Amino acid sequence: MRASTAAAFLVGLLIPFTLAAPTIEKVLAPGGYRANTNVREIPAGGSLVRVGSEIHVLDAEGTIVHVATAGVPTKVKSAVSPLETGWVTFASWLNTASSPISSFTTTWTVPPVPATNHDQTIFLFNSIEPNAGDAILQPVLQYLDSANTFFTTPVQTSAGATLNGIITLTGSSGSSYNYISQFTNIPGTALDIIGSAELTWATETLEAYGVTAISDYPAGSTVFSGINLELASGAVPSVSWSNTNDNADGLSTTINTNGAANARITITY
């Protein structure tokens, strides 16, 4: 996947991070490069089911169409890096309550395409991870040319379009949790996950690869608004967002409005 000044795409992603052997052809996805054999599109209406150490890909009829081994993870949180590689700047909150996050919504606008093209790849998303930090569920805005990564069929969008990204808990049993990640206003972006670990670490993130100049980013800033977090118990969580910035390159995340209801966070390029 390579950067393009012509198009932005939306996808749903679940990524158990697994390092691939260096001799295998790799493709770029959120979290970095991985073996192309570990990157798989989910059939329309399909879902993912975690069964022990395996991840089963199901089609819309519930038939298993692929089985992947989770492998040894590379933790997402340890992958945070400066400009050009990995997570550049982001806001985050960790749920330590006994009740799981039941809903995490965010609204933002597709920013203008970057002024320059140096084959960069840029991702903007809200996401949730488990405590172990070894997987991530995210509705993703991604600029591109056309362990395992599972994604819904990319949907092309355009600068100025409104995105409503939401991750919802759909059920649980013991330590097994089911979620759906989607852009609620964009058809074909829903991704169902069955049998996940509890997702606890919520983020609003800018991730990038191959950036060689600030002009490789969109101009100005991206505002994540309408940020709402709910718990399954119905209790209102006490949310205080923290931020991580790339001060050396002037890229930052500002917490404009804190809390669990209608929070507002700005990423400035």
Q: Three-state secondary structure along 147-166?
A: CCEEECCCEEECCCCEEEEE
Select the more confidently predicted residue: 234 or 33: 234
How far is it, in rounded angstroms, from Cα 204 to Cα 72?
A: 26
Any domain includes 45: yes
Quote the domain boundaries for residue 245.
8-268
Any domain includes 2: no
Residues 6+ apart with CB under 8 A from 235: 97, 99
Q: Is the pLDDT of residue 180 over 90?
A: yes
Residue of 135, 127, 72, 125 whose CA lies nearest to 94 = 127
Dihedral pair phi/psi, residue 173, rounded to 5°: -150, 110
Any domain includes 121: yes
Any domain includes 225: yes
The pLDDT assigned to 210 comes to: 85
Any domain includes 3: no
Q: Give how many domains the chain has, as a whole number.
A: 1
Any domain includes 253: yes
Residue of 50, 47, 39 whose CA lies nearest to 17 = 39
Q: Is the pLDDT of residue 205 over 90?
A: yes
- For 259: left if phi > 0, alpha if psi spans -120 to 50, otherwise beta; the answer is left
How far is it, in rounded angstroms, from Cα 206 to Cα 218?
A: 11
Burial of 184: CB neighbours in 10 Å, binned 0-12, 13-18, 19+: middle
Residues 6+ apart with CB under 8 A from 21: 35
Q: Is the pLDDT of residue 37 over 90?
A: no
- Give the residue-averaged pLDDT of 145-168: 82
Any domain includes 187: yes
Q: Is the pLDDT of residue 92 over 90?
A: yes
DSSP state of 19: P
Q: Using alpha carbons only, what angle is made at residue 97 by residues 196 and 126, rounded to the nearest 5 degrees? A: 55
The pLDDT assigned to 240 comes to: 98
Confidence grade of residue 6 (pLDDT, cut at 50, 70, 90): very low
Entry pTM = 0.84
Least confident range from 69-83, 114-128, 171-185, 249-263: namely 69-83
Any domain includes 132: yes
Q: Is the pLDDT of residue 11 over 60?
A: no
